[in-house]
Amino acid sequence: MSSLFESYDLAGQRLSNRIVMAPMTRARVKDTVPSADMATYYAQRAGAGLIITESAQVSEQGRGYLYTPGIHTPAQIEGWKRVTDAVHQAGGRIVIQLWHVGRVSHSSLLEGRAPVAPVAVPAAQTLVHAYDDDGEPTQVLASAPVALDAEGIRQVIADFRLAAKNAMAAGFDGVEIHAGNGYLFEQFINGDFNTREDLYGGATIANRLRLLLETVDAVSAQIGRSKVGVRISPFARLADLHAFDEEEATWLALAGALSQREIAYLHASHLGTPDFQKDIRAAYFGTLLLSGGFTQVTAQQAIDEGLADLAVFGRPFIANPDLVDRLRHGWPLAEAGREAFYGGGSQGYIDYPAYSSHDTQQAGVAAHL
């Protein structure tokens, strides 16, 4: 059996262990350009076998929230270079999650323009962090979208291809295309929502998968398929997306299509039942990353049972920059304050210390007082 702490060959790149840091939006970028604090934050966590960054919008149109980074301008590329350099100097591997939110956005983030989607139906009761009518940052309802036309679809694919090229220029080890959490690609995949009558929608599974697969092909042609991952969350039910006919068949068809393309990995969460989890594992022959609120025990179990090759940890990495060492040595885990998850400055971001044997000594002294 393989240990969480054993190295792993990911499409020709050697990872130091099988623990992956999940993409977690922290909303600490004031101007969409990665900051010096971001470089520190990711470098502190370079003990992970692989870091997947927070989502980075591939274009201005793809932006859905305040204080998130982009990967479509020269300044953003330079900002990310600081991050990748810091992680690599610390001995880590890092890929960037590429993001287009589709209709999960607000016109105040898009210079007054409407968001885009497969069809012109708003995401009901879906809040985004944007500007109110007085220009103040706050939670607002997502704006009504306009439907992408053929030219708009071609532009989305081109934006992802350019973003992948930019990511390589910024020094990343690869990219992850975000096709989950109710964002643009999942909006196209969802048969309840996507009622288009062209080649990119309707009742046909192949049509609804077309945009994502064409994007995967374009990005693979640009940077090589061994540097491309895809993230899915089939049953997350986020951003006003609902169950639809042939839902399981759709996700299994996607897994099979991605397997045929021999990309670096598939990253999955919200897979529903244990049986469907096994079905995804059977349909996708490549490296499978699995998210799901893992503990060390459950992560090792998933690997032992063959359900995952790499285990993805999210929240524990926030307060434990040295999470891998803490798990390896059985050291206690720190807890992050929820108030520091999103937004703010360095507090609750880069000020969590690594574990020290001094902590144990202090705890022992306190226990005897």
Greatest Cα pair distance, the chain, in angstroms, is: 73
Q: Does the residue 214 lie in any domain?
A: yes
The C-alpha atoms of residue 178 and residue 329 are separated, in whole angstroms, by 33
Residue 291 is part of a domain; what is its CATH number? 3.20.20.70
Q: Does the residue 273 lie in any domain?
A: yes
Residue at token pair 């309840």: 192
Residue range(s) defining the domain that contains residue 204: 8-367
Contact 69, 26 (CB under 8 A): no
- For residues 250, 314, 275, 233, the Cα torsion angle rounded to the nearest 10 degrees is -10
The C-alpha atoms of residue 64 and residue 110 are separated, in whole angstroms, by 9
pLDDT band at 229 (very low <50, low <70, confident <90, very high): very high
The reported pLDDT for the residue numbered 20 is 98
The reported pLDDT for the residue numbered 340 is 78
Q: Does the residue 1 lie in any domain?
A: no
Q: Is 352 a catalytic residue?
A: no
Q: Does the residue 3 lie in any domain?
A: no
Q: How far is CA 276 from CA 50, 65, 255, 271, 300, in A?
A: 26, 32, 12, 7, 19
The reported pLDDT for the residue numbered 258 is 98
pLDDT tops 70 at residue 220: yes
Range name among 103-107, 149-153, 278-282, 344-348 with the lowest pLDDT average: 344-348
Residue 208 DSSP code: H
pLDDT tops 90 at residue 339: no
The reported pLDDT for the residue numbered 364 is 35
Q: Does the residue 312 lie in any domain?
A: yes
**Mean of pLDDT values over 224-245:** 97
> Which sign, positive or negative, has the C-alpha torsion 286, 51, 275, 327?
positive
Q: Does the residue 64 lie in any domain?
A: yes
The C-alpha atoms of residue 105 and residue 125 are separated, in whole angstroms, by 12
**Mean of pLDDT values over 256-269:** 98
The C-alpha atoms of residue 29 and residue 345 are separated, in whole angstroms, by 9
Contacts of 282 (CB under 8 A, 6+ apart): none
Number of domains making up the chain:
1
> Which sign, positive or negative, has the C-alpha torsion 350, 352, 356, 361?
positive
Contact 145, 121 (CB under 8 A): yes
pTM summary value: 0.95
Mean pLDDT of the chain: 95
pLDDT tops 60 at residue 234: yes
pLDDT tops 80 at residue 149: yes
pLDDT tops 90 at residue 135: yes
Q: Please identify which of the residues 183, 265, 284, 355 carries the catalytic annotation.
A: 183
Q: Does the residue 187 lie in any domain?
A: yes
The reported pLDDT for the residue numbered 357 is 55
